[in-house]
Amino acid sequence: MHTYAKFDNVWLKGHSELNERWVQDRIADDPSILGLGDVILKDKERIQPRAGRLDLLLQDAEANHRYEVEIQLGSTDESHIIRTIEYWDIERKRYPQYEHTAVIVAETITARFLNVISLFNGMIPLVAVQMNALRFNDHIGLVFTKVLDQMTLGLVDEDEEVQETTDRAYWISRGSQKTVSMCDELLETVKSLDADLELKYNKFYIGLAKNGQPCNFVVFRPTKNFLRMEPRLAKSDKTQEQLESAGLDVMDYDVNWGRYRIRLTPDDFKKQTDVITEVLTQAFASAMA
């Protein structure tokens, strides 16, 4: 039987003991509490040339992705935004082999902050996390809530009108008859979700269209020996485990476009039809939400 317990909110800014360093140490001990996925601590108080110290540098455990994390007690302000973006910019220039995301952690994410961030129009990958400290008797806990998720540089659909259209023959020559035929089989799967969906052959991918309009909750990229399927889904441990448990070849998650990238062979499709169908159904539901 569960017992209800009332927690008291604790404002950390100006607190005599629970300072920014204390918060930093708690996150460093267990970076997963930020809700950024399976990340590990790469560095703490990282010296930036002529620009101070970065609070925390985190790295995805299974992908070439780093997070530049800045912590602020109290409410976000303009100087904190600038400092966070400056550290992100320094790190991405020093280590261009990684994808980089700026992360702001504060006790209050203000409306003014969100308005300022909107001016960047998605050109800076930025995550804002609101932090709440809760007390129960002598125990203090931290709760982190993602207020602003990473803003992408635009969706495939938004760039559709400038994509050069091609045809089936183009993709057979670039890939193979075998891998393009897999697109036909996957089309039948998505048609069970919406009978009006059709393949649309673009220069860089095979997408989907409904009544002539892009509907790219999944795109396909045939090669000679396999088909790369890219469903648009928020990254989650559950989905990752679902794909890997099925024995599918999962590449690095594409953070910029918000897509899983999965290499499929004809055998994969035959053996893992149920898992593939479930992932496509989730992507479709997410796109329609």
Tell me the domain boundaries of the chain. 8-148, 156-288
Mean pLDDT for the chain overall? 86
Mean pLDDT of 59-74: 87
Select the more confidently predicted residue: 94 or 155: 94
Strands 52-60, 197-201: pairing kind: unpaired
| pLDDT at 191 (0 to 100) | 93
Q: Please tell me the CATH code under which domain 156-288 is placed.
A: 3.90.1150.200
| pLDDT at 38 (0 to 100) | 84
Q: Quick one: which H or E segment has residue 13?
A: none
| pLDDT at 16 (0 to 100) | 81
| pLDDT at 151 (0 to 100) | 53
Separation between Cα atoms, residue 142 and residue 269, nearest integer Å: 43
Select the more confidently predicted residue: 246 or 51: 246
- Cβ-contact 128, 104 below 8 angstroms: yes
Could you give the 3-state DSSP secondary structure of residue 224? Answer: coil
| pLDDT at 150 (0 to 100) | 65
pLDDT higher than 60, residue 161: no
Q: How confident is the model at residue 287 (pLDDT cuts 50, 70, 90)?
A: confident
| Structure token pair of residue 59 | 């790295």
| pLDDT at 283 (0 to 100) | 93
Q: How confident is the model at residue 229 (pLDDT cuts 50, 70, 90)?
A: very high
| pLDDT at 157 (0 to 100) | 47
| pLDDT at 89 (0 to 100) | 92
**Which of 171, 176, 177, 130 lies closest to 149, judged by CA?**
130
Could you give the 3-state DSSP secondary structure of residue 97? Answer: coil
Could you give the 3-state DSSP secondary structure of residue 158? Answer: helix
pLDDT higher than 60, residue 152: no
- Cβ-contact 142, 33 below 8 angstroms: yes
Strands 227-231, 262-264: pairing kind: antiparallel
Q: Which residues contact 82 (CB under 8 A, 6 or more apart)?
A: none
pLDDT higher than 80, residue 31: yes
| pLDDT at 88 (0 to 100) | 93
**Which of 210, 164, 170 lies closest to 190, judged by CA?**
210
Q: Is the domain 8-148 a CATH 3.40.1350.10 member?
A: yes
Could you give the 3-state DSSP secondary structure of residue 221? Answer: strand
Give tens-digit pLDDT for 2-16: 788 788 888 888 888
CA angle 176, 181, 186 (to 5 degrees): 135
